[in-house]
Structure 1
Amino acid sequence: MSELAPFPSSEYERRVDRTRERMREAGLDALWVTDPANMNYLTGYESWSFYVHQGVLVTHDHDPVWVGREMDAKSAEATTYLDDDHVRSYTDDYVQSPHDKHPMDYVADVVADVGYDDRSLGVEMDAYYYTARAHQRLTDQLPAADVSDATLLVNWVRLHKSDAEIEYMRDAAALAETGMQAAVDTIGEGVRESDAAAAIYGGLIGGTDEFGGQYPAIVPLMPSGDYTGTPHLSWSDREFAAGDPVIVELAGCRHRYHCPMARTLSVGEPSDEMADVAEVVRIGLQDALDAVEPGVTAEEVEGVWSESIAQHGVEKDSRLGYATGVGYPPDWGEHTVSLRPGDDTVLEEGMTFHMIPGIWYDEFGVEISETFRVTGDGAETLADFDRDLFVV
C-alpha cells in the first residue's frame, strides 16, 4: 500500500466491490475506466498524465489493473493501492505515434491477457479523455468483445461519500475560505485581475498551517465589470475600475476532493439594483438549503429556490446545483444529480452538492454559493464564509 494514497486499501476495495455490483446489474463482465476522477476514486491514482491515454480495467475475478504510459507507471506504484503486478505500461513509441501504433492496441492486449477479449466490456464514451479514435481503435482490436457505453457507472457509485471523504471535503472548504479571503483582501480599484488571481491561487494552494491545497479542476473564475453576466470568464490583466461588479468562483482541493464556493464583490458601492438582487439570492439560497433533507428530490429543492425568487419577480433558467466531490480538469462536478426541474433523484445522507444560485443580467451578475452534504436531518454547509455582497 502506497504511503501517498489518502485512504487505506480497504476503502478502495469497498469502492471496487460497489462498482462490481453495478457492473453485474448492467450485465458487464469488465469495465474500462478512463475518467481521471474515477481512476482516482477506484485506485488512488494521482498524476498529471491524463493528456495521454490511460485507464483502469475492472473485472469480477481480478484485482483492477492500471494501464498507462511507461513513464507514469511509477506514479501508479506510488499512489495506488495496487501491487506492481497490476500496473501495466506501454512504451513511449505508442504516444502520439507517427506510425500505426495507438495505446488502445496495448490496452486490448491487456484485456486479452486477463481473458476478457470475448466478453462484455463497458467503456466511458462521454469521458473527456476517451477520444473517438481511442474508442474506434479499441473496438477494432477487440472484435469478439461486446463493447457498450457505461459512462456514468462509477460516477453514481461516487455519489455517496464516506466519513473519510467528507473530512477531505471539509479540508477543501478551509482552503476555499483561504482563497476567497485572498480575493476579498486583494481586489480593488486599480488592481489587475491577474494579480487578484495570483493571490487567490496563493490562498488555495498555500493553504493553512495544517495542510496545503492542490490545483482545482477549474481555474478561479472572475468575470468583472460589464462581463459579470458571463459566468465562466477567468481573468485578464485589466485593472478593476470603480463601480465594477466582480464574481469570484473557486474551489479548495484536498486529495482531489473539492469544495466550490462563489461570492460577489463590488468595487465601490454597488447599484441599488445589484444590492437588491444579491439579497434575493441570499434569501433564496437559504430557503433552498432549508429544504434539503433525506427523502426530498433534487427537483423539489430547486422548486423551493424558484418559488423564493419568483416572489421578487426573478427567474433563473439554469440548474441550481450539482453533485460534486473528486475532480480533475476540466470539471469538479460528478455529472450525476442536478438540482433542477425533471431530476427526481431522491437525496440521501452522504451526498454532496454545490448549490450555486446565480442571477445574470447584461449589466451585472450575482453568484453566492455553498457546497453542502446531506445529513440525517438537513444540509451541512462545509465552508463558513460570509454571504455578503462585499464592497472593496
Structure 2
Amino acid sequence: MDEIHVIGGKCLHGNITVQGSKNTVLPLMSGALLYRGISVLKACPRITDVFYMEEILRALGAETWWEDHDLYLDCTHADGSHVPETYSGRMRSSIILLGPILARNQRAEIGYPGGCVIGKRPVDLHLYVLRCFGAEIKEEAKKIMVSCKKLCGTEIVFSKKSVGATEQAILCAALSKGTTTLRNCAREPEIVWLCRFLNAMGAKIEGAGEECICIEGTEKLCGTKMQIPADRIVTGTYLCAAAATRGRIVIENAPEGELDAFLQVYRKMGGQYEWNSGKLIADGSQVRFSLPFLETEVYPGFPTDLQSPLLAVLATVPGKSIIKENIFENRFKVCNELCKMGADIRVDGNTAVVCGGRLHGNCVYAEELRGGAALLVAALAAEGSSVIRGCSFIRRGYEDIGGDLKKLGGLITEDIGTVFYENIQL
C-alpha cells in the first residue's frame, strides 16, 4: 500500500526547515540543456517530479548524479531530441523542454504532457511561443514535433499570464538571434529564479519579475551553480497544518517576500506571525475567523496551489467562507474527500462555500498533489484516526511531508510500499 496514517487532534509545535522549490527547480533543469557541460543545482528537492525530469534528461543523453541534495547535470552529450510519451505523460511541466531541445538540436519531439488532473492546462500558449520564434510545428494524436534551424528574437504579447509559457519564451530567447521582448509576463518568483540562473550562465535578461522582460540573445552559455530557494507552497502547506491544529511553528528558511498574499489571509483568520533573522514565526492558536470571500489569482495574488490546504483549514473554522477558483477548474476535486471527514463544503462551478465545524478521521484518497496535502492537513486537525491513500501524488511535490510534520509533533506513520518507486529507474 501507499498510504499515510494520521492520528489527529494534536497541536503542531516546533521548528522546521523547508525543502527546495519544486516549481523553481524543474525549469532550471530544462535550462541546463542550453549549456554543453555541467550545471549544479544545490539544495535540490528529492521528489518524484525531479526524478521524472532527471529520467527525461538522461533519455536525451545527459549524465546526472547526486551529492546529498546537490544535483549535477552534465549535458555535454544531451543530443537527443525525442522525449517519449512514457516520460512526458507523467508530468505537465515536461513541455518546457521543447524550447531548450530546439535551441540546441534544431528539432524536438515530445509526447503530449500529462500530470495531475486538476483541470485543463492546454499547451496552446507554449506552441504559440515557439511559432513566434520561427519554429514549425506538427501535431499528431500523441506527440508534438517542432523544428527550426535558428530561433530568432521576437516580440510576444501574452493573451493571459502563464507561468509555463513565460518560462518557455525565456528559455527560447536565451540562445536566439537578436532581441526578444515579452509583454504581460507572469511574475511568479520561479520566473525570477529562472532568469537569475540563465544570467549566471551568461544570458542577458532584464526585467525579471516584471510584466515586461527583455532578452538579448547570445550564442553560447556557460555552466553555473544555483542554490534552490525554499519552496513557498510547501511553506504555506505547513502553515496551514499549524493553523488547522491551532499550533505554533517556526520556519527556519521561509522564502520572505514570496508569501505575502497567503500571510494576509492567514492574519485575517486570526493567525499571527513575525519575521526574525530570516525565520518565520507563525502562531495559529487564535485562528477562528472565516473568510467572507477569497479568490485565487496569478502572482502576487493568492496562489491556487494553496487553495486546497486552505480549504482544509476553513473546514475547522466556525462560520461561512467562500472561495472562488480562477486558475484550474477542477481544483475542488478534493472537496468530496474532505466531506467524508465531516467538512461542510458546497461547490457551485468555480466557487466553494465552506461552513466550518469539526472534522473526524476517515479513509480518504488523494487524486492530485495539492489536494492530497489538504487531506493530510485535515487529518491532523480531525478527531481520531485517518488513512490517506494515493500518496504518490503528494510525493510529487513534498520530499518528506510525513517526516517534517512528525518533527512538529504530528502523529503520523507511513506505508510507502512500491507505488512511489514503480516508474523510477535511477
Structure-2-length-normalised TM-score: 0.28
Q: Which has the higher contact order (CA 8 A, sep 6+)?
A: 2
* Higher Cα radius of gyration: 1
